[in-house]
Structure 1
Amino acid sequence: MMTSRSTLSDANKRRPEAVFECIYRDLYATYHNQLSLDSRFQNEPKWMKRLQIIDSTTISLFSNLLFKGVGRHPKTGKKKGGIKVHTVTHANESVPSDIKFTSAATNDSFMLNPTSLSKSDIMTMNRAYIDYVKLEQMTPKGVIYVTKMKRNLKDCILNDTISQTPNGFMEIRIQQVCFTKQQPKEETLIHKARIITHVDQKKIGKLT
C-alpha cells in the first residue's frame, strides 16, 4: 500500500523551519568540540579559539514576488530578488555555529547579538554589521571586535601613538578615539574605540 508521503522531501515540506533549526543546533552542540580537532588547527594560537567570523552572502533570484529585492540590475535597472545567508563561524571550526536565511534586503547587523557573547570573544566583521548601540553594549562585557570604520562617522582623537621601524618608517599607529552618533529621538551615543593602522613594509620596500 502506497503512503501519502512517499519521500522525506514530501514530509519536510510540511515541517516548520524551527524543526530544522533545532536539529542543526543539537548536532552542533553535540559535535562542535570535535570540529576543532582538525590537524590544521593543532598548533593554533590561543586567540584563534575566541575568534568568530560573521558574514553573509546573497543568492540572487529574479522573483520579487517571493523575495524582496536588493540592489539594481545593471541593464534593466530593476531590483533583483534574493535570499541572504547569514553565518557566524568560529575560526578554529569548519562549520558555522549559527545560520539564518532572510530576504536579500535584510540588514546584516541583526546577526550581531551582544547577549550571546562572552568576555574575551573576538568578533570580526565588515561595515555592514556596524551598529553603534550594539558595539557599545559589547565593550563593557570585554568583547573585542574588529571591523572597518565607516567614512561618514565623526570621531575625536584622544590619544595617538606611532611605532617606527629602525629605518624610520611608520610601522603601527594606534589611535584612541571617541565616536559620536546621533540617535533618532534619543541622546547622542558616545562610543570609545581604537583605530589601528598597520603598514605593509614589503609594499613600502617596493615603492622605495
Structure 2
Amino acid sequence: MNKGKTIFSQIMSLIPERDFKTCVDRYKGNYRARNFSCKDQFLVMSYAQLTGRDSLRDIENCLTALSSKLYHCGISYAVPRNTLAKANEKRDWHIYKDFADVLLKKVRPLYVKDKFRLDLDNMVYAFDSSTISLCLKLCPWAKYRKNKGGIKMHTLVDLRGNLPVSVYLTSASVNDVKVLDDLYIEPSAIYLMDRGYVDFNRLFKLITKKNAFFVTRAKDNMLFEVVSEAEVDKSTGIISDERIKLTGLHTAKWYPEELRMVTYEDYATSKVYRFLTNNMEYEALTISELYRERWNVELYFYDKNIIMSS
C-alpha cells in the first residue's frame, strides 16, 4: 500500500505559504473564520479544478466519498456545499487575484529560455475571449439575452509556456474590442487576435504607436488599395504578400500608415485566409504560422474546465 504523499498533496506543497498568508492578511480573509480558512478554501477549489468537478454539489459529493483520504491531501474535512458557497460569495476575490500574480511572477521566468516553435526573439501573446454561461435565475446580474445569462473571460496568453498573463471579466454583451483599452502593451511584442478585435483606431493608437506588432485576419468588407506587392513562393501556400493602405472614409484616418496583408491558402482544407499585420520584416510564411499559433489560446479555453456553477 502506498504510504507516501498523494499527487495532490505534492502539488500543493509547492505553493509558497508565506506569500499566500501575505495575500490573506492584506484583505483580512480569515477574519471571523472558524473552521474553514482561506487556505482550506484554496485547497478545496484547487482539488475541484484538478478533478474536473462541475458544481458545488459535485464537489461536496466527491469530498464525502473520499472523506477517509482527505487528510492525506491536506484537506481538513468534507466541506458542505453551503459553507463553500458562502466562502466563495463573501471572501474578497482580490486575495486569489493577488496570489495568482505572485505565482505568475515565479513561473514565467522558468519558460523564458523555452524554444518557441518559430525562431523569434519577440514575446508572442494570443488574446481571445470565451463566454461562460450562467443560470439567469441564480445570477440575474449576468443577463446576456432574454433567457440567457453569462460573462466573458478575456485572456492574454503568453505562448511560451501557454501561461495566462492577464484575465479580464466583463458582461457577455461587451464587445471584445473594447477590452483592448485595458490591455498592457509591451514594446516589440507580437499580439495575435482574431478579426473580432479589428478596430483600426485602437490597433494604431494602442499597438502600432507603442512599437508593438499585431497579426489578425482582415474582414471581408475592408476597403483598401494595394501599394506594392512582393514576390512569394506559392508552393508554401502563400498566394500574395501585399502592402496596402486603407481607403474607407473613417479607417483611412484611423490607420494612416501602410499595412501588410498576407493571403494564404491552407491546402488541407482549401480555405483562403487574409492575414493583416503591421510587421513588415518577417517572411510571409512566418506571419501565417504566427496566426496558427493563436489556436493555442483556443486550446487553453478548451482544456480548462472552469467551475462557474452555482
Q: TM-score, normalised by structure 2?
A: 0.51
1:88 and 1:158 map into 2 onto residues whose CA distance is: 33
**How do residues 10-159 of structure 1 correspond to structure 2 at under 5 angstroms?**
10-35=86-111, 41-42=114-115, 44-47=117-120, 50-63=123-136, 65-70=140-145, 78-113=146-181, 116-137=184-205, 138-159=207-228
1:74 is aligned to none
Conserved 8 A contact 2:126-2:159: yes
Conserved 8 A contact 2:237-2:266: no
1:189 aligns with 2:254: yes
Conserved 8 A contact 2:192-2:215: yes
What whole-Å deviation, never above 9, does each CA across 1:83-126 have from its counterpart, x for those lacking one? Answer: 21111001112320111222211111233258722332111111
Identity of aligned residues (%): 24
Conserved 8 A contact 1:171-1:201: no
Of the structure 1 ranges 96-105 and 8-17, higher mean CA displacement relative to structure 2 is found in: 8-17
Give the letter aligned to residue 140 of structure 1: K
* Structure 1: segments with no counterpart, 5+ residues: 71-77
* Structure 2: segments with no counterpart, 5+ residues: 1-31, 42-83, 271-310
Shift of 1:148: 0.9
Give the letter aligned to residue 241 of structure 2: I
Shift of 1:175: 1.4
1:173 to 209, 233, 240: 240
Conserved 8 A contact 1:162-1:170: no
1:75 is aligned to none
Using a 3 Å threshold, how does the CA distance of structure 1 residues 32 and 124 change in structure 2: closer, same or farther? same
Shift of 1:23: 2.0
Shift of 1:4: 5.5
Conserved 8 A contact 1:180-1:189: no
Q: Which has the larger radius of gyration?
A: 2
Shift of 1:44: 4.2
Shift of 1:56: 1.0
Conserved 8 A contact 1:48-1:91: no
Q: TM-score, normalised by structure 1?
A: 0.72
Q: What secondary structure is seen at the aligned counterpart in 2 of 1:112? A: helix
Q: What secondary structure is seen at the aligned counterpart in 2 of 1:84? A: strand
1:15 and 1:42 map into 2 onto residues whose CA distance is: 40
Give the letter aligned to residue 140 of structure 2: L
Shift of 1:57: 0.9
Using a 3 Å threshold, how does the CA distance of structure 1 residues 6 and 118 change in structure 2: closer, same or farther? same
Shift of 1:132: 1.4
Q: What secondary structure is seen at the aligned counterpart in 1 of 2:218? A: coil
Conserved 8 A contact 2:224-2:248: no
Give the letter aligned to residue 151 of structure 2: I
1:81 and 1:114 map into 2 onto residues whose CA distance is: 24
Higher relative contact order (CA 8 A, sep 6+): 2
Larger % of strand: which? 1
Conserved 8 A contact 2:246-2:255: yes
Moved over 6 A (4+): none
